[in-house]
Chains A and B, each alone.
Chain A
């Protein structure tokens, strides 16, 4: 074998070659390892929360510890797991390949983005070791600037630095998609995975600087006493909420849009069929990204924001439901008259559709002004966003990971374990979070260390479900690690799927992905011509 034919994993070898790599695939793997570690850390915090809430009294940990647990759970999961999860791993790995090119436009900047992420992560861990943070991941003022005696500043710096990592990733994707597509690969021949990441990247580069500025202002008030948010210093605490959600609502779409891209790929591949309504699915990603910037005020309906502003934010939020519905119906329709496999990726993608549906639809309750007055700041909100972020984004991430694992590692994992893991996660997830919708309507507020007795029954379900959920993720981690050494060698295209990544690269790909220059002559997902058409 010549050097060019070696897989990206083997050539060259050694730790230094990994830490200084400019290969987008290796950087994707570095990210995969790092986010898995943060996912485990965030999961441990969640375990602490669920154990505390098993009983109404605050008897497992103290109130201070509990407040730190949910704060750190949020910060770690959002800034260090969910935001980089799909874009920095699957996106980094497959966007250049799907564009038919050797690497991202700026390989060195790609590596820099991983290092910034790690610096942010180390600062985050420093904040944890240095006593933790108790402000909630939302850092609401004036509590975060004047009242909290915890490591707020260092946690804010951590999120600030990690933000630049995501700006650089988004910037790299946008330039790559514009400038590096192979000859013949027109915009409307791009896989929907690329469209979704393009939309995500727009949100990353336009939204993240705003949260960076907000965190700087927070640090100015906390460290230097500049009056920005604290009314005692002449500031306005609600201003912080506007600035924070101007980024942090679009950030939700940073988490879910790449998942939608993965699901479009998976639905098509497991059905061996063109995605139904390609251009509607593509443009709905852009619509979600754009509308996502105009809805931040729906977090502020009872904050003393003007009630007329509430009207505007409510109606625009309702509009987000439309492109989300369009996507869901198109995915379902893609399976119609498909050739649907029952291999493990199908389990994950069906799981995603069920959970995302509930997550998206419960957003309507919270967008409805009058109803939000009762539901906001209760467990209903907690349930809703976990359905979107865990049920939607993580389910899609797991589906994508299982679908692309043979390509990324060159190994197959045991199918039966993968199906068992998908089922455990789906059941465990619903058992954990569905009762929280009921708790929310009953009026149980968020971020409560102790609670009245009548809420206990649903909390017991929730904690029970969380153990099953943890089991599902744990099982998955074990067999995926096992497969790295012991799994069957993967063929180039184990799923019989269309796409440059399956048809034109080895498993795992060589360092420069393709052996010869790619020329694209057909649309994405071109399954039917020449194939044996299903007439069932």
Chain B
């Protein structure tokens, strides 16, 4: 980074080396073809320079062999790029099961971060080194994009839904955090820092942070305050379905479809409750749009995730 003419950003995540390799591979292929074609064109213009005003070129119309060659070779090379790129893309889209979860909310023009332990920060993100981190992200207003160049990761933050991204930092240090999707006047001010710490330092930092309870505890408080609990009772005696064990389960809807109850399903059911009503229940739940913020929503979801399914014996009955 200290070079006056930097070419590469710092690489500080588990994917940064592979990203750089893929980049250099394509650079090499493209440089080869650029030099090849440029050399041919320059050579032809010099070698076959017009010598007489009425002179014309040779009577050559084409060559099927050549056409097939320069159709086939670019095709194969582009498929190699596609395959490697797709593999990396799926790695980036699949967080490891043991990833710790951090909640991020984008709003004009700041990033609000909420750790599961309840510590909050603004325009900063502290993470431990060597541990996969999964970000669950929402937006209060317009499109944003959470971009950490040193980690080679980026994901849009979209109002109306939750998006996720993950990374595993491999180097202790401080890195840029940018909003990469244009979001209005102070778009270029919606930046911050990502601080990668040793696990011990991270624990110490968490302990030193001001916390008003964990995300799930805050969610539980909201669950009571918003009176969710009057209908969504722990057993199935309420007017709404029990939420015990609902996260990650298959839910059958009134129209017969089944959906996986992931974060986005829970979010939609709170904000737009009539969209996907569970079979056997009436669509009587009010919408909470405008009553809960994106942060509240993430706390509610964190709480719902902690609700374990009822004991297996009871289910069999």
Contacts and interface: CB of A to CB of B under 8 A. Distances in A.
A319 B272 CA distance: 41
B161 interface: yes
B69 to A, nearest CB: 9
Interface string B52-63: 111111111111
B256 interface: no
Nearest to B162: A304
Interface string A315-339: 1001101100110111011011111
Contact of A337 (B6, B48, B79, B155): B48
Interface stretch (B124-132, B140-148, B198-206, B303-311): B140-148
A277 B85 CA distance: 32
B74 A321 contact: yes
B147 A443 contact: yes
A102 B22 CA distance: 54
A528 interface: yes
B55 A532 contact: yes
Contacts of A333: 63, 66
A448 B50 CA distance: 49
Given A147-B108, A329-B37, A450-B188, A319 B78 contact: yes
Contacts, number: 321
Main secondary structure, interface of B, reads mixed
Interface stretch (A38-46, A103-111, A159-167, A370-378): A370-378
Interface string B4-27: 111111000001001100110010
Interface stretch (B86-94, B211-219, B245-253): B86-94
A276 B60 contact: yes
Residue from B53, B79, B91, B154 with most neighbouring chain A CB atoms (10 Å): B154
Contact of B41 (A58, A232, A350, A376): A350
Contacts of A372: 85, 89
Interface string A124-168: 000000000010100010110011100000000000000000000
A278 B141 CA distance: 53
A310 B71 CA distance: 24
Interface stretch (B115-123, B178-186, B221-229, B233-241): B178-186
B145 A377 contact: yes
Contacts of A454: 1, 6
A311 B83 CA distance: 9
Contacts of A226: none
A467 interface: no
A339 B50 contact: yes
Contact of A273 (B56, B82, B163): B56
A358 B74 CA distance: 15
Nearest to B40: A332
B145 A302 contact: yes
Interface residues on B, range: 35 or more
Interface string B164-178: 000000000000101
B317 interface: no
Given A332-B37, A340-B49, A371-B85, A237 B143 contact: yes
A443 to B, nearest CB: 3
A441 interface: yes
A497 B118 CA distance: 76
Given A438-B7, A445-B147, A339 B56 contact: yes
Contacts of B7: 438, 441-442
A100 to B, nearest CB: 23
B49 A377 contact: no
21 contacts: A64-B185, A67-B182, A67-B185, A231-B160, A274-B59, A304-B155, A307-B93, A332-B41, A340-B49, A354-B38, A361-B30, A364-B30, A367-B78, A369-B86, A370-B84, A370-B92, A371-B85, A373-B89, A377-B147, A447-B187, A536-B51
